[in-house]
Every structure is written in C-alpha cells, then in structure tokens.
Amino acid sequence: MHWPKPLSRMLKNTLSKSIQYSAEILHSRILYSNDNPYLDSIFAPQRQEHFSTQLMVEGQIPAELDGALMRIGPNPILVKNPRNYHWFTGDGMIHALRLKGGKAHWYKSSYVGVASVQKKLHRPLIPGKTRGVADAVNTNVINFAGKIWALVEAGAYPVEVNSKLESERHHLFKNEEDLPFTAHPHVDPETGDIHAVCYDALSQNKVFYLHIDSHGKLKHQVEFPVKHGPMIHDCAITKSQVLILDLNVNFSVRSALKGSMLPYQWNPKRQARIGVLPFGGKVTDMRWYEIDPCFIFHTVNAYDLNTGDIVMDAVVHSKALIRSIQGPIEDQDIRLERFIFEQGTGKVTRTVLSNIKQEFPRINEAFIGRQYRYL
C-alpha cells in the first residue's frame, strides 16, 4: 500500500516518537547491570574536545606520510542512564593527527555538529536538511569528492566537515533526494565513484542501492523490497557488481519496548541471504543467494572470477546483538570467512580463513573490488 507523502511522513514521525517515548518510560524497569563496558576503559568518552601541538612521538614517523589521519567514534557528552546506553548511539567525535615531514604537527578532536550535540554544547545549528529517526553521526569518516564527510547508517544524511574538523552542513553530497545513506560506502578505485547500500530505520520494508559519481552526483539508484527491517552495516563491491547483506539482525519492536535505544536484535528464524546486483542494474536483475544464519558488520573485499563466480571475504558473527542493550558484547564465534557465489548454480561455498576473533578489517583501498593479497 502506498500512502500519500505527507501522511507517510506523519506516520513515520509518529512511529519514531512512540518508540522513543515507550523506551524512555521503560528505562527504569529494565533489570540490567549498571556497569557498561562501552563507557569504561578504552571506550571511556573524552570529557572535552582537544587541540594540541605538543605531541610526544615514540619511534620514527615515515617522512613520506603527508596528511591527516582521522578516525571517528561514539563519545557521549551526557549519559543519563549508563545501563541503557548503547555503544552505537553515542555522540560522534572525530579525531585527527596531522603528519608531515616525519613529524606529528598537531592532534585535534571535535564533535560532529548535529542538532543534538549543538544543543548540548549551546552552539548554533549547522545548515542543511536533516532526516532519520536519530541524528548521531558517529561511525565513519571519509574523503570523497574533495571533501571530508562524517557518516552513519539508518537514515541520517552525511555531515560535511572542513579541515579544522568544523561541521559545516548536512547533505547527501550534491543531491536533493530524500534518501538515507550508510556508514560504509565503497569507492571504486578506477572511477572514484561511490557505491552504497542504505536503509532507513523507519522503513522496514525497503533498502536502497546508490551509485554516486566521483563529483558527488547521484548516478543510479535501485529500491528493493526486504522483510523484517534488516540492519545492513556494510556492503561489498567488485569491478562490476554490488553485494547486499540481508542477514539476521533485524528491527525489533519488542527490543524497543524493553528500552533499547538501538532496537535491532538477532533473529534466527528468518532466511539470511546475500544479493548480487550489476552496476546499473534494475531490481529484477538482483540474484539472491541463501545462506545459513549469521551477521556481518564488516566485509573485507570482493572480486569477480573469470568463471563468472564472485569471491567475498568478510568477518562473520555466527550470532550478533543477541540480548544486550549495550552493544555486541555477547556476539559469538567471530571468524574470517570466504564466500564463493557460483553464478551458474546459485550455490554458496563458505570457507573459514581464520578462527581468530577479529573485527574492523582493512585492505589497501587501491584493491577494492579487485583480487588482493594482504589484509
């Protein structure tokens, strides 16, 4: 059923507010430890933004490195109830280290200036339209189309950030479309184009594939139907195709009503599948491969074989986001796997490459979508 846009928007807003209100009411009723590992030790938030030019260096910095090394992560300004804080929902903070001529020139940390952050810090709102059920932008920072972007999944627009780490504007690059984006797009090293698989937490029945050219203009989009509101944190690309991960962590109203600020939960009953869509293809060109239940936060890489088959390497969780409302602390059997998708038969072969528990895999990005050797 298709609702008129104003009514559809109103229903989404009502659903969002209802879930948030119900979660807040039930916070005090949750029987959960006050200890939260995502507010302690290496996860403990910085209490303020920093800038320093007095940096101590151990060892030697290669003189060839010239640029800013950046990372982003959740850094909550205020946590009212630690037992209900979820790692994925904290206010975003970007950290940057400027390297040049074998020296570390400065370090700076700065909050991503979304509305909730600016209000807490009593700062003016940044321009640009906003969208999504929540505004925390805290998951990835990339350099694309000559600009720096802070990213998150589930609906919010990217935030453009300048070289001083000042947030400048919310927008979907050079586009006016009302579309969600993702925390983990992939840039084709030959074309500079970006490929993204995006979902909106308020629309559990559809997901978008976006192909954006190297200048930031939307080149192609495909909307395809899904069930159960899957969390799709990452995707993978080859030279010619995109892989969509429709797996076993799904939107859960029950989780929201229990007080979770991130209402996604392990769902072993649904059929896990991975879709393959050619660049420029239509929804009818999608090929789905069914696999055993699992979840993938991060892929490593994917590439085409001469046979027409596809290889994808990824860090696989046999179960994820099971019960905890604080983060993936209970995730089980995390391993590095290789998937081979046979084009002719529709068969998927899975091979464990390493049983060492791991996450956040990285490769040389010049080999994205290409056969590679080092991880």
Quote the pLDDT of residue 13: 56
Q: Count the alpha carbons within 13 Å of 184 in the hemisphere toward its beta carbon.
A: 21
Summarised one tens digit per residue, pLDDT across range 298-348 is 999 999 999 999 999 999 999 999 988 899 988 889 999 999 999 989 999
Cα–Cα dist 363/26, whole Å:
43
pLDDT tens-digit series, residues 212-259? 999 999 999 999 999 999 999 999 999 999 999 999 999 998 888 877
Split at pLDDT 50, 70, 90, the class of 134 is confident
Question: What are phi and psi for residue 153, nearest 5 degrees?
Answer: -100, 180
What would the pLDDT profile of 14-58 be if each residue is shown by its tens digit? Answer: 555 554 544 444 443 333 445 899 999 999 999 899 999 999 999
What confidence category does residue 9 fall into, taking pLDDT thresholds of 50, 70 and 90? Answer: low
Do residues 112 and 196 both lie within one domain?
A: no
**Banded pLDDT at 10 (limits 50, 70, 90):** low
pLDDT at res. 23: 44
Residues 204 and 154 in one domain: no
The pLDDT assigned to 88 comes to: 95
Output the pLDDT for position 91: 97
**Shared-domain flag, residues 25 and 44:** no
The structural domain count of the chain equals 2
CB 37 within 8 A of CB 115: no
Q: Do 25 and 42 fall into the same domain?
A: no
Final residue belonging to a domain, choices 125, 142, 171 = 171
- The answer to whether residue 178 sits within a structural domain is no
Residues 82 and 198 in one domain: no
> What local confidence, expressed as pLDDT, does residue 4 receive?
57
| Mean predicted confidence (pLDDT) in 165-188 | 96
pLDDT for the residue numbered 8: 55
- Is pLDDT above 70 for 11? no
Residue where a domain terminates, one of 120, 136, 171: 171
Amino acid code (one letter) for 154 = A
Domain extent, residue 150, equals 38-171
Q: Looking at beta carbons, which pairs linking 229-232 to residues 24 or more positions away fall under 8 Å?
A: 229/199, 229/201, 229/203, 229/204, 229/205, 229/264, 230/199, 231/153, 231/154, 231/199, 231/264, 231/295, 231/321, 232/153, 232/182, 232/197, 232/198, 232/199, 232/207
Question: Looking at the structure, do residues 53 and 124 belong to the same domain, yes or no?
Answer: yes
Helix (H, G, I), strand (E, B) or coil at 24: helix
pTM for this prediction: 0.89
Scanning the structure block, which residue is given the tokens 């209100």? 21
* 278-303: pLDDT as tens digits: 999 999 999 999 999 999 999 999 99
To the nearest whole number, what is the mean pLDDT of the chain?
A: 91
Do residues 236 and 319 both lie within one domain? yes
Sign of torsion over alpha carbons 131, 135, 139, 145: positive
Q: What is the pLDDT of residue 259?
A: 77
Check whether residue 130 and residue 8 sit in a common domain: no
